[in-house]
Amino acid sequence: MAQFGDVVSTNFIYSQEQIDTRIYGDSDISYSGIPTVYHAGDVVHLPYASGETSTMEAIGLAWAAFTSGVGPE
Amino acid sequence: MAKKSGSSFGNFNKAEIFDPRPVKPITTEFSKGSVPDSIYAVNRESAWSRWRRGYEIATACFYDNSYDYPFTYRVPVPAGTPQTSGNPPTIPGVFKGFPTKNKEFGMHWAGVRVAGSLRFDNVRDSTGVRASIASVTEDANYWYVKLTGTWSVSNPLPPPLYVAIPGVPGGLKAINGEILEDRIVSVGGVPIDRDTIDPATQKRYGYVSAVLADTDPFNGILKLRKAGSVEATPDRALVTPATRPPNVGRFLMTGTRYCCSCQDFNRRDYGFMSSLNKVSDSLKTKFPRTNVASLKPGRYEIMTLGGVVDNNAMTSANVNRDMRIVSPAPQYNVPPTVTPTVSTVPGAARDRPGVFRDFGAMYLRNTSDPSIPGSRAEGMPSYEDYSASGNVITSLTDTWTPLLDEMRYCKHIYAMKYEEGVFPPEPSDFPVGIESMAAWEQKLVEETEKDQTEARAANLQRRSLSTMDVPPYNCQAPMMMPMMQKLFNIPSTFVKMNGFTMIDKNGTKYIPASGERPSV
């Protein structure tokens, strides 16, 4: 479920046994897929194209706005 | 004849002999029942202790307690800024819960901002040149990374590397303290990892991680700290400190950033008024209180909604609270270390009795690295909240400086680092004066497993998950908001509930602010 870069290196994948133990109690829970999408050790690939606002730029805009007393929209 | 009580002079009671046994030892901030002598304090605060406990908590809860909440946070743009099309600016990450009996809602929430969130291949100078690594010089303690581009007083490094503030010398250098890694080989390229092989040489690329200590915006120079740096070698090993500087020609990106809401990481204890405190003996008091002896001068935050104090642990996904910081004096309220959003209240402040205690303390190590020439021997750990001279506060220290494996992480962050496979080597500040380490460790193993089982049972069976606070609804709680600001490294006003897109166990996205829910 990564963004547009679609490269997420996940360090572990739950075994079927681990997934099974995630069913709490006796209720019938249905699920599929890998439980965790982002994990603490992941690296994302977020290549922003020209004309897009990158995360780096957005955080810069936020701090610059903050110093002049402007809040988010 | 019945024995007459008292002496023959009457029935006066005899004088009581002082019995020292019922006298209890002084209780410390984060533990109970130990006399806080200096040796004890050093042991308790040692990185080794956290490291060992982190490993234990990871292995004890890895199997059963997977409270993972992956998210993508969309960074809001300032009011009046035109929206651009295409991919929005996002911060991917994950919240991880660690069940505990030491919090009212039974969970310490740790947060991770995934590596690669900020990339330098989008940083350009005024002529559009991208800021790759042009050259590196070094001294005993730092690398000085010169970025490609033309930088000057009139064309400094762009935000967030540098924001000029009228009247504030040095301006704002928002990402000082971030971990930087030279893992982007080409513009828009996939970040390399320690396995990536250079097709030209058929050898692994390798990279270097180091903390950004300071920024020289007018010369385009980043000062990276050698102490605590990590190098991924061509042999795929992680070596610390790094033996070589970042590679010229590559682009930097941010490394994994951790924060935690536990008392140890925050150096803050938060009391929430709750009638649910029946799980643990230590939480029997229904009203939060602060020992007078624990009160200290410091800053504290107040969460408000519409100007009214709002301490709720969770809010609706459509509500945004404001964080107001009360600090000892306004002139010390210098960004980015302190981030007011609404206003600051001048005047000497103390902890907020009954709500917060022991604010703003920060672990500082006296050393860089013994293997680096010029560094000093490791000394006693110390906490610094503020410094004073002649009863006048001269500086407020609220820095948050990750030093990679040297940082004063809490055990939860060590646990996450273990799970991601970058568990740091054993810290050198091994506790002293412990009679038997084998016995101590055996006890730790047993207690951690028991505590985790107990905490999980308390959450899931006795109280049910409905009393738990969960992300993102708790992200503006008084205990979480300062952590969120540090984790994202943006002003707290820009941490808005509607920016969160959560990812459920099936990998399906849902937006809480739109009323969406995880699938069952």
Which SS3 state, helix, strand or coil, does residue B419 take? helix
* Residue that the structure tokens 């004066």 belong to: B433
d(CA B91, CA A2): 11
d(CA B323, CA B309): 10
pLDDT-flagged residues of chain A (< 50): 23-27, 29, 31-33, 35
Question: Quick one: pLDDT at residue B451?
Answer: 85
DSSP code of B428? S
Q: How far is CA B8 from CA B14, B164, B213, B418, in A?
A: 12, 88, 80, 74
Query: Is A28 within 8 Å of chain B by CB?
Result: no
Choose the mutation target among B67, B83, B95, B119 for the interface with A, i.e. most A CBs under 10 Å: B119
- Cα B470-A72-B213 angle, rounded to 5 deg: 80
What are the chain A neighbours of B78 within 8 Å (beta carbons)?
A: 61-62, 64-65, 70-73
d(CA B24, CA B31): 14
Query: What contacts B157, CB < 8 A, 6 or more positions away?
Result: B123, B131, B147, B151, B215, B217, B220
SS3 letters across B265-325: HHCCEECCCCCCCCCCHHHCCCCCCCCHHHCCECCEEEEEECCEECCCCCCCCCCCCEEEE
- Do B231 and B243 touch, CB atoms closer than 8 A? yes
Query: Is B160 within 8 Å of chain A by CB?
Result: yes
Q: Which helix (H) or strand (E) holds B344?
A: strand B344-345
pLDDT tens for chain B, residues 1 to 520: 445 454 444 454 555 666 666 666 555 555 544 444 556 666 666 778 888 899 998 888 666 657 889 999 999 999 888 888 889 999 999 999 888 877 777 788 999 999 999 999 989 999 999 999 999 999 888 999 999 999 999 999 998 999 888 777 778 888 887 889 999 999 988 899 888 888 898 889 999 999 888 899 999 999 998 877 889 888 888 887 889 999 999 999 999 888 888 887 777 777 666 655 554 545 445 555 666 666 666 667 788 888 888 888 888 888 888 887 766 554 444 333 344 444 444 444 556 666 676 654 444 444 444 454 544 444 444 445 555 555 555 554 443 344 444 446 789 998 988 887 777 777 777 777 666 778 888 888 888 888 888 887 777 666 666 677 888 998 888 888 878 888 898 888 888 999 999 998 777 899 999 999 888 7
- Residue in A21, A31, A46 closest to B506 by CB: A31
Query: What contacts B72, CB < 8 A, 6 or more positions away?
Result: A3, B90, B91, B92, B93, B500, B501, B503, B509
d(CA B174, CA B167): 17
Q: What is the CA radius of gyration of chain B?
A: 26
- Residue in B78, B188, B503 closest to A37 by CB: B503
d(CA B113, CA A59): 14
Contact check, Cβ <8 Å, A21/B63: yes
Question: Quick one: pLDDT at residue B247?
Answer: 95
Which SS3 state, helix, strand or coil, does residue A71 take? coil
DSSP code of B497? G
Tell me: cis bond preceding B336? Omega within 30 of 0 counts. yes
- Do B403 and B99 touch, CB atoms closer than 8 A? no
Query: What contacts A14, CB < 8 A, 6 or more positions away?
Result: A22, A34, A35, A36, B66
Contact check, Cβ <8 Å, A64/B159: yes
pTM above 0.90, yes or no: no
Query: Is B338 within 8 Å of chain A by CB?
Result: no
Residue ranges of B 450-479 with Cβ closer than 8 A to chain A:
460
- Do B413 and B110 touch, CB atoms closer than 8 A? yes
Contact check, Cβ <8 Å, B87/A35: no
B18 φ, ψ (degrees, to nearest 5): -65, 125
Query: Is B336 within 8 Å of chain A by CB?
Result: yes
Which SS3 state, helix, strand or coil, does residue B503 take? strand
Q: Which helix (H) or strand (E) holds B110?
A: strand B107-113
Question: Quick one: pLDDT at residue B92?
Answer: 92
Choose the mutation target among A15, A43, A68, A73 for the interface with B, i.e. most B CBs under 10 Å: A43
Q: Where are the domains of chain B?
A: 38-74+89-110+262-400+435-514, 120-255
Q: Which amino acid belongs to residue B342?
A: V
Choose the mutation target among B258, B420, B463, B511 for the interface with A, i.e. most A CBs under 10 Å: B420
Strand order, beta sheet including B322-326: B308-309, B300-305, B322-326, B344-345
Contact check, Cβ <8 Å, B496/A72: yes
